[in-house]
Structures are given as C-alpha cells and as structure tokens.
Chains A and B, each alone.
Chain A
Amino acid sequence: GAGVSQSPRYKVAKRGQDVALRCDPISGHVSLFWYQQALGQGPEFLTYFQNEAQLDKSGLPSDRFFAERPEGSVSTLKIQRTQQEDSAVYLCASSLGGGASYNEQFFGPGTRLTVL
C-alpha cells in the first residue's frame, strides 16, 4: 500500500495481558515514530527509530513498554502487563529521511487499545 498501515485497528485486552501492536511504514522510509494519543488529547511522542536503531525512547511511560524495528522496516510496540491507563490510540508515523533536518511525517490510522 501507499501509506502507513497499522494492525490491529482495535485491541481489547484484560488488565495484565501483554499486547503487540504492528506498524508497516511507507516503503523506503528511514525514520519511524510511535506516539500515544489519550482520549481528548494530542499525540505524545514515545520513541524514534532511524532504520533499525532506536535513537530515542525517552517518551516510553514505563519499562512495560518496548519497541523494536529489527530489519529497519516493520516495527512492533509491545506492552507487557497492560494497565487501564495504557488505554489510548497508538499512532505510528514514518518519514523518508533521517537526521536533524525536517522531514514530513506520515501517520497511520492508529491502533485503539482498550484495557478492561
């Protein structure tokens, strides 16, 4: 496809379960971002990859959150022992270039996670 895709689109988990959220960026895009969007709020940065390297994970809220991008393409955000406060929409974005210069970020539709 031409855009960023994410799966699943919706995920319901019981408290304490582990979940894995997938992001397929636009082919050839070097940079990949994860954001968390709580209900009624704007997206907040979680982590950034340049190819397979995770250059910044300062936004991950706890050590229960883990992200990887082992081959520099598809990325997975994993949340262990989910809590109710993890309920949010998780957005993935990719951009063509890397580095400190501005590169437009293209967003996927998001995965809505609900923790019961």
Chain B
Amino acid sequence: GNSVTQMEGPVTLSEEAFLTINCTYTATGYPSLFWYVQYPGEGLQLLLKATKADDKGSNKGFEATYRKETTSFHLEKGSVQVSDSAVYFCALSERNTGFQKLVFGTGTRLLVSP
C-alpha cells in the first residue's frame, strides 16, 4: 500500500538556522503531497501542498518540491524562528472510490532555540 517515510526527530536548531526535513513516499499513481504542522495544543494545519511532479509548494517561508524521480518531498526553510517549533507531518492523498484520504508519516518534531 501507499506509505510515507520521514526523518525521525527531534530536530534541534538555533534560530536563523537552515532547516531540512526529509520525506519520501511510496505510491501507485500520482498522489498529491502535503506538509501539515501541529503546534502544541492545536489541531493539524495544512502548511503547503503540491499536486503534480515538479510543483513547488510554499508558505510562511517553507517550501517543498514534488520530486517524482526520487519520490521525495523534502521540507526546507532558510531561517527558522522559535515560533516554528512544532511537529511536522508529511502526507500523501490516496485516491479511493469517490474520495481521497490522507496517508501520513510519523511526524518530525522541530525544536528551535533562541
């Protein structure tokens, strides 16, 4: 079946450091790819998405490029802030009869210190 693998955390960085969180996927067909973020005490929020190969999703300084040849969707940010501390989930949409469901990775906790 379809699956998502992302790097284990926690990832610990100092403010203004460069961030990469790796994500690879296994899927039949051409799924859409997502990054969700979960801040402490809050629900999952969509951070960015890409719906086809070579698309780049971006939001709040984060970006990720849909790489079909390497089945990857790595999350990057040039300069992290303390407020970026959260758990980040990579996900793909799996098309079923009549609807699409999300398949998530296990999540990567990011801790940013001042």
Contact = CB atoms under 8 A, between A and B. Distances in A.
A99 interface: yes
B25 to A, nearest CB: 13
Contacts of B93: 102
Main secondary structure of the interface of A (DSSP, over half): loop
Contacts, number: 68
Interface stretch (A13-21, A43-51, A71-79): A43-51
A53 to B, nearest CB: 10
A55 interface: yes
B44 interface: yes
Interface residues of A, number: 29
Contact of A31 (B32, B97, B99, B106): B99
Main secondary structure of the interface of B (DSSP, over half): strand
B15 to A, nearest CB: 26
Interface residues of B, number: 27
Contact of B46 (A31, A45, A56, A104): A104
A93 B91 CA distance: 14
Given A48-B99, A99-B99, A109 B42 contact: yes
B59 interface: no
Nearest to A110: B43
A43 to B, nearest CB: 5
11 contacts: A40-B106, A42-B4, A43-B102, A43-B104, A44-B104, A48-B99, A55-B98, A100-B95, A102-B51, A102-B93, A105-B102
Given A35-B102, A55-B99, A103-B100, 9 more contacts: A3-B43, A4-B43, A33-B101, A41-B107, A42-B104, A43-B44, A100-B98, A100-B100, A105-B46
